[in-house]
């Protein structure tokens, strides 16, 4: 794991215990492990560089032997918090503007390594990028209805491109009964 590789290169006297409440994996567990290891190192070495770009460069060096390297966006999101946006140059954290909406994640029991999954797809429909930009605009402008419209359209586009996992389809059918 990236955390294991980091700790092998940067031993720390601090005790780090990774507890997995689920044996399913996913939902940012390996990212959280890496951030815990990196954070412990920062406590022991306060003069170390600790901005997001340095952290992501370190994360990248701990994943460079993987066939498909992860983007690090999940690590960046956990590091920065809130709703994290990256425009190719800089990261920005936005507060969740919708008081009547809550975001929930649940495990379907079907783990997909996003970076591997995306690389296997030959083309990502432009519709997904466009809808993501529209959803971001809705967040920035606190337009709840536009955001919900984007989320619904995004799911439809995922289904149309056959990108939605069958387990997700099943869960959503039960959820929306």
**Token code pair at residue 12:** 């720390």
Task: Report d(CA 13, CA 44) in Å as an integer.
Answer: 8
Task: Report d(CA 162, CA 19) in Å as an integer.
Answer: 34
pTM for the model stands at 0.80
Burial letters 19-48, b for 16+ CB under 10 A, else e: eeeeeeebeebbbebbbbbbbbbbeeeeee
pLDDT in tens, 80-137: 989 999 988 899 999 999 999 998 888 887 777 666 666 666 677 899 999 999 999 9
pLDDT in tens, 89-102: 899 999 999 999 99
pLDDT in tens, 31-48: 899 999 999 988 888 866
pLDDT score at 48: 64
């Amino acid at each position: 794991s990236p955390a294991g590789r980091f700790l092998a290169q940067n031993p720390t006297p601090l005790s780090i215990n990774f507890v997995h409440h689920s044996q399913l994996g996913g939902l940012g567990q390996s990212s959280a492990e890496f951030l815990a290891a990196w954070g412990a190192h920062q406590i022991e070495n306060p003069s170390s560089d600790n901005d997001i770009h340095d952290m992501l460069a370190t994360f990248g060096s701990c994943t460079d032997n993987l066939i498909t390297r992860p983007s690090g966006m999940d690590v960046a999101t956990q590091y920065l918090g809130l709703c994290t946006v990256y425009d190719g140059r800089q990261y920005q954290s936005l507060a969740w503007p919708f008081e009547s909406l809550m975001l929930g994640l649940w495990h379907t029991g079907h783990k997909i390594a996003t970076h591997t999954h995306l690389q296997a797809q030959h083309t990502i429909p432009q519709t997904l990028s466009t809808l993501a930009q529209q959803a971001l605009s809705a967040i920035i402008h606190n337009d709840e209805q536009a955001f919900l419209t984007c989320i619904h359209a995004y799911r439809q586009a995922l289904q149309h491109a056959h990108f939605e996992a069958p387990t997700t389809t099943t869960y959503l059918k039960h959820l929306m009964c």
